[in-house]
Structure 1
Amino acid sequence: MYWYLWTGMLINRVGGFVALVLSLYLTADRGLKPGAAGLVVGLYGIGGIAGVLLGGVLADRWGRRPTLLLAHFGAAAFVGGLALTRDIPAIAALAALLGLMHSMPGPAFVAAIVDVVPAADRNRGFNLQFWAMNLGMAAASVIAGALAEVSFPLLFTIDAAGTLVTAVLLLWKVHETRPATRTMGGPAKGGLHTALTDRAYLAFVGLSLLLAVVTMQSSTILPLAINADGLRPTVYGSVVAYAGLLIVAGQLFVPKLIDRWRKGTTLAVANVFLGLGFSCVALASGVPGYLVAATIWTIGSMLAAPPNAAVIAELSPEALRGRYQSVFYLIFPAASFIAPAAGGVSLEFLGDWHWVICGGLGALAAAGHLLIQPARERRVAQAEKERLAVPVAG
């Protein structure tokens, strides 16, 4: 079952490249000015925020499989609509709906992986998931760039086809994975508010937001630093491609390295590497310096992926896994706003000290993970003890 989910995520990521070129399509093909195009892309993002929350709720209420099928068939329909319409208001509405559908599968996919992968193997399972996502994103970037030069309608059509392939695979091979209720008294109580008021979980989510803000410097502020050093835009593309290749080449070796480490310790080390890598940007002035910095922060990203997902799985009640995943996924749109908004001002007024501050945020997050680790481990141990003490409904 895991491998069908993994394959579905890979195909979906390879085929889901419309979002990468949406702004280019709106300006180059539809003739919108950058401000108007940004507004439409912003609607895609707003749809994504709603989709994350809706996807988590539906994954718990309807089930993982129905949520995944709705999201993929819906996304294919809306991408097809983008290929056929030339009306700007219609494009804006479709962009918002597409953002909704693109974000819905995330919580359901991860909740399904938690359902089917034993706790002892989750580090490896989530590591392979992270690897597939990065491999798919790298392929999508190449395909999107090539197709955008040929035909945007063709690009939309191929995207829709890839999404349909994923939907058919899920329909054919993936059955419902949502756990049956363990208690004799019926479904577990709780809802989205349970995750939003879970202090231990929110502490972890808050530290993960710091990590995401630092990580997103590579896609928001780093191009400005490279440009300020008088380097060509192709240098930025090369640095990002190099980081992606490092993940594809090295991610599969991470589980063996960290299997014996405590999750909080692993996350602390990961944040130190991330912070140190972006701090090195302050010293970089040429391609070698940026490649060294990228190497260091990419090691941090690689180390963080498996324990991040495993901690979410540990803290999530069985009946609320989708909702807990959706709350975690909110950090990405939040970081997408904070990283460029705060980072741009910081770089403008502080110059290279901006990158030193990024290093400080990494160190702060590392300390936070070490601080909350004992209490979180006690909670997980107590929850497991209670789970084993409850008879399975029969």
Structure 2
Amino acid sequence: MSVASAARLRRAARETVSGLPREFWWLWTSTLVNRLGAFVATFMALYLTLDRGYSASYAGLVASLHGLGGVVSSLGGGVMADRLGRRPTLLIAQTATAGSVALLGFMHDPVAIAAVAFLVGMASNASRPAVQAMMADIVRPEDRVRAFSLNYWAINLGFAVSSMAAGFIAEFSYLAGFLIEAGMTLACALVVFLKVPESRPTATAKQADGDVSLGTVLRDGRYMAVVGLSFLVALVFQQGSVGLPVAMGRAGFSPADYGLAIAVNGILIVALQIPVTRFIEHRDARTLLVLSSLLAGYGFGLTAFAGSVGVFALTVCVWTLAEIVNAPTQTGLVVQLSPVHGRGRYQGMYTLSWSVAALIAPLMSGAVIDRFGAEWLWGMCAVVGTAAGLGYGVLMRRLPAKEGEREQEQESGAPGVVAAAEGAEGAGARTA
């Protein structure tokens, strides 16, 4: 590597991490530690079937209940983030996650295991709206896409490491995996407690009287359209972990073949998330969301023509690029459309779209593959991705005010914002 190339790399690295507040980096550290210790999700199915001797159907039921817990807590976590504050919500959710994960390791009765798995899903998902809302609070609008991208990178880096470590830990002791994850989750709570201050914006008296509620979110037509499109995109992306392994197994490929193909996803995200974000950071969000939706749909659609591990890996490259572009852009759009004093609830609704997709995707993919064949599933992915791309194209023809302008209006009690809040209160929407 030449001296000039090394200098460019150093400059790019400095520009990537510069300008973000110290609080963000402590929150980022908490996220990374959390994902480094995410062992249970990786080996849960093996634990139930191999160690405990339960059927694959029971393991699927436990996974569904875990997902259902996440669906329930998506909105609850958002409401807590707005009412109690971001920091208390994070501390409650992470402490509850640590306790429930540790408890799950000691459960033997099948009903008790299923019930505690539901609690783990609730507790672990409750922190997501608070994390996203806090990042929006503490990071300047012009830096948010970069911040969300760095956070997404930490999630995937941590998950890649924990997935490899989970296998070794499981060979030693499944219980150790539960306890280590509980301990690392408590470490996350400790980082938040010691280093991360509360970031919830202070509302004026007039804004407090017109508090944003879940009813306000549901009546926000533009935002709910974004949530619906997010659900479609999430439904497509979920097929990487639910439809793809089943389809490859039916085609005669081994679990190791699937592991080799899907490993490309994590490697590319860790390698490309930051440089790609530098390239797209200040580009038109509408174009990026349309493009990423189409890439996701047709990336999975191309799987219908895959006949070797190499071609499967190539299709993974296509939809992984879509994921790299979509994740920070979509999260930035959610913040842009969210009122400052309702970010928790708005983020909770966005999180719900992914939780519901994670719940529906396994049922949908299994039913389609069993009844019609895997080719139909991949064709449906192409159709859904196209529909989402068209939806973003139509929806974003006229964007709202830029984030900084909108926030200044809200914080100064602009008539339009206050009137909308007062209208929501008049409709009895503050009960959420």
Name the TM-score class by shorter chain.
over 0.9
CA contact (8 A) 2:207 2:413 kept: no
Per-residue Cα deviation, 1:72-96 (whole angstroms, up to 9, x for no partner): 1111112222233434443333222
CA distance, structure 2, for counterparts of residue 201 and residue 380 of structure 1: 15
From 147, 150, 156, the counterpart of 2:172: 150
Alignment of 1:288-307 (within 5 A): 288-307=310-329
Instruction: Give, in angstroms, the shift of residue 276 of structure 1.
Output: 2.0
1:186 aligns with 2:230: no
CA contact (8 A) 2:101 2:120 kept: yes
Moved more, 181-190 or 14-23: 181-190
1:84 and 1:377, CA in 2 relative to 1: closer, same or farther beyond 3 A? Answer: same
CA distance, structure 2, for counterparts of residue 374 and residue 344 of structure 1: 36
1:213 aligns with 2:235: yes
1:364 aligns with 2:387: yes
User: Which runs of 5 or more residues in structure 2 are unaligned?
Assistant: 1-22, 415-432
1:30 and 1:291, CA in 2 relative to 1: closer, same or farther beyond 3 A? Answer: closer
From 236, 239, 254, the counterpart of 2:276: 254
Per-residue Cα deviation, 1:8-32 (whole angstroms, up to 9, x for no partner): 0111111122123223222323332
Instruction: Give, in angstroms, the shift of residue 141 of structure 1.
Output: 1.2
Instruction: Give, in angstroms, the shift of residue 184 of structure 1.
Output: 4.7
CA distance, structure 2, for counterparts of residue 185 and residue 310 of structure 1: 23
Alignment of 1:1-394 (within 5 A): 1-182=23-204, 184=206, 186-347=208-369, 348-377=371-400, 383-384=406-407, 386-387=409-410, 389-390=412-413
Instruction: Give, in angstroms, the shift of residue 379 of structure 1.
Output: 8.7
User: Which runs of 5 or more residues in structure 1 are unaligned?
Assistant: none
CA distance, structure 2, for counterparts of residue 170 and residue 324 of structure 1: 22
Per-residue Cα deviation, 1:37-82 (whole angstroms, up to 9, x for no partner): 3333333222222221211111000000001001111111122222
Find the residue that maps to 1:338 and give its secondary structure: helix
1:96 and 1:161, CA in 2 relative to 1: closer, same or farther beyond 3 A? Answer: same
CA distance, structure 1, for counterparts of residue 170 and residue 355 of structure 2: 25
1:45 and 1:185, CA in 2 relative to 1: closer, same or farther beyond 3 A? Answer: closer
Q: How many residues align?
A: 391
TM-score, normalised via structure 1 length: 0.93
CA distance, structure 2, for counterparts of residue 341 and residue 142 of structure 1: 27
1:69 and 1:382, CA in 2 relative to 1: closer, same or farther beyond 3 A? Answer: closer
Amino acid aligned to 2:154: A
1:231 and 1:85, CA in 2 relative to 1: closer, same or farther beyond 3 A? Answer: closer
CA distance, structure 1, for counterparts of residue 53 and residue 209 of structure 2: 52
Find the residue that maps to 1:390 and give its secondary structure: coil
Moved more, 224-233 or 301-310: 224-233
1:351 and 1:305, CA in 2 relative to 1: closer, same or farther beyond 3 A? Answer: closer
1:390 and 1:132, CA in 2 relative to 1: closer, same or farther beyond 3 A? Answer: same
CA distance, structure 2, for counterparts of residue 382 and residue 53 of structure 1: 27
Instruction: Give, in angstroms, the shift of residue 351 of structure 1.
Output: 4.4
Aligned-pair RMSD on alpha carbons?
2.0
CA distance, structure 2, for counterparts of residue 25 and residue 104 of structure 1: 25
Amino acid aligned to 2:377: H
The alignment-based identity, stated in percent, is 39
CA contact (8 A) 2:290 2:389 kept: yes
Instruction: Give, in angstroms, the shift of residue 183 of structure 1.
Output: 5.5
